Structure 1
Amino acid sequence: MKVATIGTSFITEWFLTAVEQNEGVECIAIHSRSEAKGKALADKFHVGKVYTNVDEMLCDEQIDTVYVASPNALHYDYALQALEADKNVICEKPFTSTTAELDHLTEVAKARKLFLFEAIVTVHMPNFKTIQEHIEELGKLRMVQCNFSQYSSRYDKFLAGENPNIFNPEFSGGALGDLNIYNIHFTMKLFGKPKHAQYFPNIAENGIDTSGVLILDYGSFKSVCVACKDSRSKNSVQIQGENGYLYIESESSKCDNVSMHINDSETLLSVEQNPIALYYELGDFIKIINAKDYDTCYEMLKYSRDVLDVVEHARKAAGIVFKADSRTI
């Protein structure tokens, strides 16, 4: 796999580290609107080409896959350009701003026999797969609690009157899509689509959610998903059943330190995981592409679409409006 990246944030650095650690993949080009930033990143990870024009990069026939880690609102545009240039696409979470955007990307990918993936580390982690194997031991489920709170490095600037992308409705920002998306993926990969979802956000003056609580209703049990970009907390996940509870002593994205508690007995379920969480998702994508396993890719797309559908409906019902909502696809 010959990869090019779009974006120069910290998550792109994590992805490039995952590239270095996986076999069968090489990053050969970096795109950045800033040549200086692109060159600095390329030098750090020994990447040979830097492009400031995305069209020129997509004409590079050596590239077969594009990793998109741009601001959220630009995911659709860059992914569509890459697909139309006959490149496979790995797109950072949240996949797109709306289901209409994702539906169009899926249509194009299938028509061109290309692979399209959402980069969401949670569901690829070894400990998450261990949780899937043991969840039935809890008996009838009653409650799921997920808290992923992280004081944003850009929040002080936002309070000072600046408008960083992650707190800007025009760029599809906010806590629901940035952090709570991990809690939603954690819950929905285990239990499927809820019967109902309702979001209770803390909304800033510009209309963006800086934190909030999403409740996923499964009838006989509920999942309470908390995410904050305006405050800190001890992150954890707890799944409660009538036989006991499962506890994760970390945010839902990484699923570190998993323990099962049945009656008065505690069983540690964790395995050692690579601290670069993107290592696992990239490894899975490489296997799927090499095997030309379109069926698995399409199953993953359907699942990602279900997640985005829940997020979009909950966001709109809470009164959070993105610029992308008025876009005609």
Structure 2
Amino acid sequence: MVKFGVIGTNWITDRFLESVKDLKEFELTAVHSRTEEKAEEFARKYNISKTFTDYKDMAKSDTIDAVYIASPNYVHSKQAIVFLNHKKHVLCEKPLASNIKETQAMIDAATKNEVVLMEAMRTTLVPNFKRIQDNLYKLGKVRRYVASYSKYSSRYDAYKEGTVLNAFNPTYSNGSLMDLGVYCIYPLVVLFGEPESIKASGVLLDSGADGSGSILAQYNDMDAVIMHSKMNDSHLPSEIQGEEASMIIHENISTPEYVEIKYKDGSVETISEPHEQEEMYYEGEEFIRLIQQGKKMSTINTLQNSLTTAVIMETARKQIGLIYPAD
């Protein structure tokens, strides 16, 4: 068994715990929240034996072997490094950190302490992403990657009424790029590596956060187009275009549930399969497997892929004038 603590008592933590409940190696033993009341409430809900309001105390405790961090983006690095320095394995929600400097500091701490650090990017760990990788050769020479993730945020309603919630507050290292754009960027990096250059545009809100944006990434012999927004919905699929065929990833790229290849001769091949588990199950499974096998890094959600993604996002932010206090 791997004894887990969780930081954060929000909906994403609930979703993670619901997804991994069938992992027989997973044991939930501790929860951290900023208030004792919330920690106790969450502990009762999940029958957790130990609660903490100071994450440093939790990091020192032998109650846990690993931690799932689902706190606001701007504290990911600070919290993760404390746990890593206490030889605790860290599964940290995306984006891994606010910027390149914080990401590198987390990687350095994990390497120094010989523990697992993995970005909880579910997209690249679900079975259908492996199907995408395994069938990429059928497209011939890839010439373009197009990824779209735009989803109207209910918090944008509050923003328009004058209330700036965390989702649109740059103090928390939040906004469209960090929340949704990362789902488009990370798979690009896993499949094709770091681009030679990028050109970004975006819409900055009065709060200082970005509401939407686009990135054009240039490779030696292909390009990539990324579109993201929290101010409008999009129903466009994502697509990888090759000289022989195109691969269409329907609905949100964050969870590739239905993927097909359309060939030049008009034939169509469905390559996706129904997922047997909840989407976040697979990141928990991968993380636990690494710990139990004594490995220090995923071969898919590698530390280099997380760092490259951070480089792309920080470069894009600088181009559109998006600065976080964490910078």
Which structure 2 residues correspond to residues 100-179 of structure 1 after superposition, within 5 A?
A: 100-179=101-180
Q: 1:213 to 1:33 in 2, by over 3 A?
A: same
Please give the alpha-carbon distance, in whole angstroms, between the structure 2 residues aligned to 1:172 and 1:303. Answer: 20
What's the CA shift for 1:20? 0.8
Amino acid corresponding to residue 199 of structure 1 in structure 2: A
Question: Which residue in 2 is equivalent to 1:308?
Answer: 310
Question: Which residue in 2 is equivalent to 1:219?
Answer: 220
Question: Which residue in 2 is equivalent to 1:85?
Answer: 86
What's the CA shift for 1:36? 3.3
Question: Which residue in 1 is equivalent to 2:67?
Answer: 66
What's the CA shift for 1:37? 2.9
Decide which of 283, 289, 292 is 2:291's aligned counterpart: 289
Q: 1:65 to 1:15 in 2, by over 3 A?
A: same
| Structure 2 contact 146–238 (Cα < 8 Å) conserved | yes
Question: Which residue in 1 is equivalent to 2:326?
Answer: 324
The C-alpha deviation readout for 1:148-169, integer Å capped at 9, x for no partner, is 1111121111222222222111
What's the CA shift for 1:139? 1.2
Decide which of 266, 276, 279 is 1:277's aligned counterpart: 279
The C-alpha deviation readout for 1:216-274, integer Å capped at 9, x for no partner, is 11232221111111111215211111212111112111111111111211111111114
Larger mean CA deviation between 29-38 and 311-320 belongs to 29-38
| Structure 1 contact 28–47 (Cα < 8 Å) conserved | yes
| Structure 2 contact 124–301 (Cα < 8 Å) conserved | no
Question: Which residue in 2 is equivalent to 1:267?
Answer: 269
What's the CA shift for 1:278? 1.1
2:229 matches 1:231: no
Flag structure 2 segments of 5+ consecutive residues without an equivalent.
none
SS in 2 for 1:47: coil
What's the CA shift for 1:85? 2.5
Amino acid corresponding to residue 118 of structure 1 in structure 2: E
Please give the alpha-carbon distance, in whole angstroms, between the structure 2 residues aligned to 1:120 and 1:103. Answer: 17
Please give the alpha-carbon distance, in whole angstroms, between the structure 1 residues aligned to 2:21 and 2:267. Answer: 41
Q: Report the aligned-residue RMSD.
A: 1.7
SS in 2 for 1:324: coil
Q: 1:35 to 1:303 in 2, by over 3 A?
A: same
Flag structure 1 segments of 5+ consecutive residues without an equivalent.
none
What's the CA shift for 1:299? 7.7
| Structure 1 contact 259–268 (Cα < 8 Å) conserved | yes
| Structure 1 contact 12–69 (Cα < 8 Å) conserved | yes
Amino acid corresponding to residue 188 of structure 1 in structure 2: V
What's the CA shift for 1:46? 2.6
What's the CA shift for 1:275? 5.6
What's the CA shift for 1:9? 1.5
| Structure 2 contact 159–165 (Cα < 8 Å) conserved | yes
2:256 matches 1:255: yes
SS in 1 for 2:147: strand
Amino acid corresponding to residue 211 of structure 2 in structure 1: T
| Structure 1 contact 19–27 (Cα < 8 Å) conserved | no
Amino acid corresponding to residue 287 of structure 2 in structure 1: F
Please give the alpha-carbon distance, in whole angstroms, between the structure 1 residues aligned to 2:269 and 2:180. Answer: 29
Please give the alpha-carbon distance, in whole angstroms, between the structure 1 residues aligned to 2:305 and 2:239. Answer: 23
Q: TM-score, normalised by structure 2?
A: 0.94
What's the CA shift for 1:35? 3.0
Please give the alpha-carbon distance, in whole angstroms, between the structure 1 residues aligned to 2:136 and 2:110. Answer: 34
The C-alpha deviation readout for 1:89-148, integer Å capped at 9, x for no partner, is 111100011111121122122211111111101110111100101111111222222111
Q: Percent identity?
A: 34
SS in 2 for 1:294: coil
Amino acid corresponding to residue 238 of structure 2 in structure 1: V
SS in 2 for 1:267: strand
The C-alpha deviation readout for 1:46-75, integer Å capped at 9, x for no partner, is 322222222332232121111111111010
Please give the alpha-carbon distance, in whole angstroms, between the structure 1 residues aligned to 2:257 and 2:44. Answer: 32
Q: 1:216 to 1:185 in 2, by over 3 A?
A: same
Q: 1:49 to 1:228 in 2, by over 3 A?
A: same
Count of residues in Structure 1 that have an aligned counterpart in Structure 2: 325
| Structure 1 contact 149–235 (Cα < 8 Å) conserved | no
